[in-house]
A and B are shown apart, each in its own frame.
Chain A
Amino acid sequence: MSLLKPNRWLLYALLIFFAFLALLPLWSCVVTALKSSKEVILSTPVTPPMYPTLGPLAQALEYLKRPLLNSLVLVGAGTIVSSFFGSILGYVFSKRKIRGCGVGFVLIVLCLYIPPQVQLIPMVRVMSNLGLHGNLGALVLLYMVFGIPMCAFIFKTLYDEIPDSYTNAAKVDGAGTWTIYRRIILPLSVIPFVVASLLQVTIIWNDYIWGLVLTTGMDNLPVTVAMANLKGSFVAEWNLQMSGALWIAVPTLVIFILLGKYIIRGYSGK
């Protein structure tokens, strides 16, 4: 048996403490979701339920059914379209190197740093002019376009790892730009597609502000916005809110646990 040094003990104690702190809200969320309304009032948010019930979970799901579907549509459309265009842009920036390409890439990356708050009012006006305001279509279009810069960035950095000799060899062998993309680059893009899709899925799924300002009516709400409506007008129904929060958090939670290493690749560009 090896004895740990005192400072190691301290380190582990701190790490366990922080892990506990981080997990506390999730714990509280799960136990509260399993309590009846009465028990929520009578107990603290961290005590386990005495009489566990699935009632609030079922009730919340019934309420969030349509918004969950809406969010699925948004995630699907936004992810597929922006990763496809991101992949083509990434290919051009990484392998075609047309004049002015570097500046173009910097401009695209800069788009990532424009805060949404600045764009709120102009975007509402643009969508109204397009006749899409209040509609789910507005969000579909927005996520498709807004996802492209980030996807282009991810694809470019990961395509940089594909040796230039692959594209040069294909060129000498007679392949044009599109053939090289289709026959060489695209089949080697599994990892960038996974990375870009994961990031897109989590960003779109968790987004709140665009759904709030661009959509109206229960039929058009994404799940995060609908969730906010669960809070109740006069009495706070904590168990219902926590159930809703669980339904929303579970998909991203699963993705992070199973595919987290790809997300880290996306952020680090490695």
Chain B
Amino acid sequence: MATLTIKGLSKRYGKTPAVEDFDLHVEDKEFVVLVGPSGCGKTTVLNSVAGLFDIDEGEIWFGDELVNAPARKVFKIPQKREVAMVFQDYAIYPHMTVFGNIAFPLSIRRTSKQEIETRVGKAARLLEIDHLLDRKPKALSGGQRQRIALGRAMVRNPKIFLLDEPLANLDAKLRVHARMELKKLQQELGVTTIFVTHDQVEAMTMGDRIAVMNNGRLEQIGTPSELYTEPANTFVAKFIGSPPMNLMEGSLVASDRGPRIDLGFSPSPHVLSPSLVERIRGAGITEITLGIRPEHITIGREHLENSVEATVEYAELTGKEVNVYLDLGGEPLIAISGSGQDLEKDERVWITLDSRRIHLFDRTSGRRIE
């Protein structure tokens, strides 16, 4: 088993940078999810680790073995890297049976026939596809194909698993199930894994740690709860969580009762406690972005201290909760309320922001203010 270290990875396609100065360390047996919007460079990172191309700058280490470093002219070809990869389209060879597909990595290594049968059989039983071994993949479902691809990846005991959006082609219900199974499988096999997805729910539910990428750069890496409770910048704040965090722009202004935060809507509320104002002043910033998660907004029918008036635009029942789209002095705001509350369009309500759960960001850099 192995750790994986990426230092200062850069890769350009022509003149367009795909990944810039990317650092990542993955512990042995850890499950790390690379998440970000499409085109953010996450698949490029995965392909670099697999060795499908030489990187432009940086170093990639498997444990204490250097596998790619253009500065030192080191490039280990993918065939020798002992990684296994599952592709988004699964890359199941249509002319081979399921058995042939899973056995492929072993048969090109000239493993003995008996050994191949034992190992393919074991993998197939674990993935519950042992009854399909003689079939051609053409007639199989998305879920079954995904298992074949996983089987092919695990059958040769690789050092590192690379999974490129393996759940994207499954239907919604199967995806939730596969998510759980894949996580369980990874724990059983104990293989260091990098999982790429654009779906933040997948990332949150599966990853031991999550690396959020945007525009070829690493925005933040941390455990799911770290990313959720302490997003390092506005991008992560907006990307992680569904519905996303509300972000409002505000400025530090002086008033006759001391400095306060003007959030642009009137009458300006006292939502920001003096300690928060102090935090902003301490950081020497006047232009801020205030973030609040939908579940930290309370909707009431009566005016309370610190509450502000808003209009209900639309209420969306998701099951046990209702996503309420509000208009707060021209600013859109999403809140989550219990399904017991009946809210109608254009209804005037009073909302309270939980001041302990407010996130503050520097508006110019987007960075979190601690």
Which A residues are closer than 8 A to B by beta carbons? 163, 165-166, 168-176, 179, 183-184, 187-188
Contact = CB atoms under 8 A, between A and B. Distances in A.
Given A165-B87, A173-B156, 19 more contacts: A163-B89, A165-B88, A165-B89, A168-B91, A169-B87, A171-B77, A171-B79, A172-B50, A172-B51, A172-B79, A172-B81, A172-B83, A173-B104, A174-B79, A174-B80, A174-B108, A174-B109, A175-B104, A188-B93
Given A165-B87, A165-B89, A179-B108, A173 B95 contact: no
Interface in B38-95: 47, 50-52, 77-81, 83-85, 87-91, 93-95
B93 A173 contact: no
Interface string B92-110: 0111100000001100110
Contacts of A168: 47, 50, 52, 78, 85, 87, 91
Contacts of A173: 84, 104-105, 108, 152, 156
A179 B107 CA distance: 11
B228 to A, nearest CB: 33
Nearest to A177: B79
Instruction: Tell me if A's interface is mostly helix, strand, loop or mixed.
Output: helix
B123 to A, nearest CB: 14
A170 B100 CA distance: 13
Nearest to A188: B95
A163 B94 CA distance: 12
Nearest to B47: A168
B108 A165 contact: no
Interface string B208-224: 00000000000000000
A172 B108 contact: no
A36 B208 CA distance: 91
B348 to A, nearest CB: 55
A183 B108 contact: yes
A163 B91 contact: yes
Residue of B88, B94, B104 with most chain A CB atoms under a 10 A cut-off: B104
A226 B133 CA distance: 57
Contact of A175 (B81, B83, B108, B152): B108
A166 to B, nearest CB: 5
Contact of A166 (B51, B83, B93, B108): B93
Given A176-B79, A183-B108, A188-B94, A171 B89 contact: no
Contacts of A184: 93
Contacts of B81: 172
